[in-house]
Amino acid sequence: MSSSTPLPLLQEDEVERKAPDLPTLLRRLWKVAAPYWSSDFKTQIRLHLAVLFVLRLATTGINVAFSFLGRDFLNALARKDQARLTKQLLYYLLAFAGGIPVLVLKDNAKDTLALRWRSWMTSYYMKRYLNNKNQMYYKIQSQSIIDNPDQRIVDDLKSFTRTSLTFSLIIFKSVVDLISFSKILYDIYPSLFVVLALYSVGGTAISLYLGRDLVTLNFLQEKKEADFRYGLVRVRENAESIAFYSGEETEVQLLTQRFRSAFENLSRLLISTRNLELFTSSYRHLIQILPAAVVAPLYFSGKIEIGVIRQSISAFQHILGDISLIVNHFKSISALSAVIDRLGEFDDILDNSSQCLPQEITTVYHYVQNSSAHLGSNGMVLEKCHNKLLDVENLTLETPRSRTTLIMDLSLEITKKDHLLITGASGCGKTSLLRAMAGLWSTGLGRITFYVKDAENENPPMVLSGPEMASLEVTTESEIYKGRRRSKDIFFLPQKPYMVLGTLRQQLLYPLKMEDDVSQPKADDDLVHVLEDVRLDYVLSRFNGFDSTYEWSSVLSLGEQQRLAFARLLLSKPNLVLLDEATSALDEANEAHLYKQIEAAGITYVSVGHRRTLYNYHSRVLHISKLDSDFGSFNVRQRNWFLKSINNQDSIGVKERSKTHH
Ligand X SMILES: Nc1ncnc2c1ncn2[C@@H]1O[C@H](COP(=O)(O)OP(=O)(O)OP(=O)(O)O)[C@@H](O)[C@H]1O
Report 392-431 residues binding ligand X (CB under 6 A). Answer: 399-400, 402, 406, 424, 426-431
Residue with smaller CB distance to ligand X, 314 or 399: 399
- Which of 142, 387, 553, 616 forms a contact with ligand X (CB under 6 A)? 142
In the shown chain, the binding pattern of residues 330 to 369 toward ligand X, with x for contact by CB under 6 A and - for none, equals: ----------------------------------------
Measured between alpha carbons, how far is 95 from 102 in angstroms, rounded to an integer?
A: 11
Q: Smallest distance, Å, CB 9 to ligand X?
A: 33
| Residue 135 engages ligand X in binding (rule: CB under 6 A) | no
Q: Are 346 and 121 in contact (CB under 8 A)?
A: no
Q: Smallest distance, Å, CB 378 to ligand X?
A: 39
Residue with smaller CB distance to ligand X, 291 or 400: 400
Q: Smallest distance, Å, CB 8 to ligand X?
A: 32
| Residue 584 engages ligand X in binding (rule: CB under 6 A) | no
Q: Smallest distance, Å, CB 607 to ligand X?
A: 12
Residue with smaller CB distance to ligand X, 246 or 402: 402
Helix (H, G, I), strand (E, B) or coil at 197: helix
Phi then psi dihedrals of residue 628, to 5 deg: -70, 150
Size of residue set near ligand X by CB under 6 A: 14
Residues paired with residue 391 on neighbouring β-strands, in sequence order: 413, 449
Q: Smallest distance, Å, CB 610 to ligand X?
A: 7
Residue with smaller CB distance to ligand X, 291 or 424: 424
Q: Are 10 and 221 in contact (CB under 8 A)?
A: no
Q: Can you spell out the DSSP letters for 268-312?
A: HHHHHHHHHHHHHHHHHHHTTTHHHHHHHHHHHTTSS-HHHHHHH
Q: What Rg, from alpha-carbon coordinates, does the chain have?
A: 34
Q: Can you spell out the DSSP letters for 520-571?
A: SPPPHHHHHHHHHHTT-THHHHHTTSTT-EE-HHHHS-HHHHHHHHHHHHHH
Q: Smallest distance, Å, CB 360 to ligand X?
A: 16
Q: Smallest distance, Å, CB 407 to ligand X?
A: 9
Q: Smallest distance, Å, CB 408 to ligand X?
A: 14
Residue with smaller CB distance to ligand X, 389 or 428: 428
Among candidates 281, 476, 275, 460, which has minimal Cα distance to 369?
476
The residue type of 10 is L
Phi then psi dihedrals of residue 503, to 5 deg: -85, 175
| Residue 11 engages ligand X in binding (rule: CB under 6 A) | no
Residue with smaller CB distance to ligand X, 400 or 444: 400
| Residue 218 engages ligand X in binding (rule: CB under 6 A) | no
Residue with smaller CB distance to ligand X, 188 or 622: 622
Measured between alpha carbons, how far is 560 from 552 in angstroms, rounded to an integer?
A: 10
Residue with smaller CB distance to ligand X, 131 or 431: 431
| Residue 55 engages ligand X in binding (rule: CB under 6 A) | no
| Residue 136 engages ligand X in binding (rule: CB under 6 A) | no
Specify whether the backbone of 394 is left (phi greater than 0), alpha (psi in -120 to 50) or beta. Answer: left
Q: Smallest distance, Å, CB 232 to ligand X?
A: 24
Residue with smaller CB distance to ligand X, 295 or 428: 428
Measured between alpha carbons, how far is 440 from 442 in angstroms, rounded to an integer?
A: 7
- Which of 432, 478, 506, 561 forms a contact with ligand X (CB under 6 A)? 432
> Parallel, antiparallel, or unpaired: how do β-strands 420-424 and 620-624 relate?
parallel
Give me the residues that bind ligand X (CB under 6 A), please: 142-143, 399-400, 402, 406, 424, 426-432
